[in-house]
Chains A and B, each alone.
Chain A
Amino acid sequence: MLKGKVALVTGGSRGIGKAIAIKLAQEGASVVVNFFRRREAAQETVQEIEKLGVSAQAIRANVGEPEKIDEMFHTIADSFGRLDILVSNAASGLPRQAMDLDPKGWAWTLDINARALLLLAQRAVKLMDDRAGKIVAISSLGSSIIWPGYAPIGISKATLEAVMRYLAIELAPRDICVNAVSASIVATDSGMFFLKAAQAGQIPALPTPPAGRLVSVEDVANVVAFLCSEAAFMIRGQTIVVDGGMSIAPFNITKQGIGD
């Protein structure tokens, strides 16, 4: 489905980003695996992708720094000469209440989680030429639902979604589709951090999604792959929620259903 395409996945060394990188490779795309802190993990992801018969390259860059983003795009241009898919997934943040968020933490989180989409898209579009490119941002339910201690990331994700909508409309006439995928707690290192905090009673308990299990990284990757397909051509500027129903039913439901 994505044969011959080139995709960039930021934060692609582990967790959701890794699953997306592998899914896009399974669909036939060559993948640039951007990473920041985990070189070994990124190289493992690259090896897994190469086993699928497509090319892959790990590129180190903190997407919070514009110069590092520029350097990364120079490398992509040199290596692949084009880009068809941008998945802005890299994220960072501290578990903090809004009242404890200082300017340094604000700048760090917003730069990496929200401004990066803007800067990445500005550069990616140049490599997309007139082909119908795809841009997908990874958000989280914390953009609109309050999770204790999630303020820095939640605020940045709300900003990310707004950036995504503006890009979607500005780029719509050029046949570039821009959307976001938003997940509830996903079974990754970061997700487990919040789950463990909940189990330890440090934050309120989180309900199991009505669908009966946690959202997996593959659940998110599947929707990203769909948004990167031509089947999703008329979806623009939307945030697709992957949460097993949790956001509209934020309480525990038994196997039998509600009220048992």
Chain B
Amino acid sequence: MSATEETIKDIIVKIVHCDREVLKPESTFQDMKADSLDMVQVLVALEDEFGIEIPDEDAQKFKNFADFVGYVEAKIAEKK
């Protein structure tokens, strides 16, 4: 498990108040019981944490936790 993935988990747990165990690669936002406000706040927190931008157009394509991690890692790699 990457450091990025751990940080993303920290952020989601803090904002959504879900159990860390819920965050598996296949977990959806429904599994996390997150609403649309949670979703936006998670995106903003990720953007601030990693210095990246996640437009809604991209975020709408995320189906599960693995998509989040994959997208963020790709953006970080892009930055480097």
A17 to chain B, nearest CB (A): 15
Chain B residues within an 8 Å CB radius of A38 = 55-57
User: A105 near B: Cβ within 8 Å?
Assistant: yes
Q: How far is the CA of A157 from the CA of B24 in the complex (A)?
A: 39
Does A37 interact with chain B (Cβ within 8 Å)? yes
A62 contacts B by Cβ under 8 Å: yes
Contact in complex: A108, B53 (CB < 8 Å): no
Could you say which residues of chain A place their CB within 8 Å of the CB of B56? 37-38
How many chain A residues touch B (CB < 8 A): the figure is 11
How far is the CB of A193 from the nearest CB of chain B, in Å? 10
Q: Knowing A37-B55, A38-B57, A40-B55 are in contact, say whether A108-B41 is a contact too (CB < 8 A).
A: yes
Is B37 positioned at the interface, with any CB of A under 8 Å from its CB?
A: yes
A190 nearest CB across to chain B (Å):
12
Report A-chain residues with C-beta under 8 Å of the C-beta of B36. Answer: 94
CA distance A37 to B40 in the complex (A): 9
Bound-complex Cα distance A37 to B35 (A): 17
From 39 to 80 in chain B, residues with beta carbon under 8 angstroms from any chain A beta carbon are: 40-41, 43-44, 53, 55-57
Chain B: interface size category:
10 to 19
Residues of A within 8 A of B57 (CB): 38-40
* Majority SS at the chain A contact face: mixed
B59 closest partner in A (C-beta)? A37
Contact status B37-A39, CB under 8 Å: no
Question: B35 — which chain A residues lie within 8 A by C-beta?
Answer: 94
Give residues 56-77 of A contacting B (CB, 8 Å): 60, 62
Chain B residues whose C-beta falls within 8 Å of the C-beta of A37 in the assembled complex: 40, 43, 55-56
Residue among A40, A60, A104 making CB contact with B37, cutoff 8 Å: A104
Q: CA–CA, A221 to B42, complex, Å?
A: 33
The 0/1 profile, CB within 8 Å of B marked 1, for residues 93-118 of chain A is: 01000000000110010000000000
Q: Looking across the interface, which residue of chain A has its beta carbon closest to that of B56?
A: A37
Chosen A-B contacts, 17 in total, with CB atoms closer than 8 Å, are A37-B40, A37-B43, A37-B55, A37-B56, A38-B55, A38-B57, A39-B53, A40-B57, A60-B53, A62-B44, A92-B40, A94-B35, A104-B37, A104-B41, A105-B37, A108-B37, A108-B41
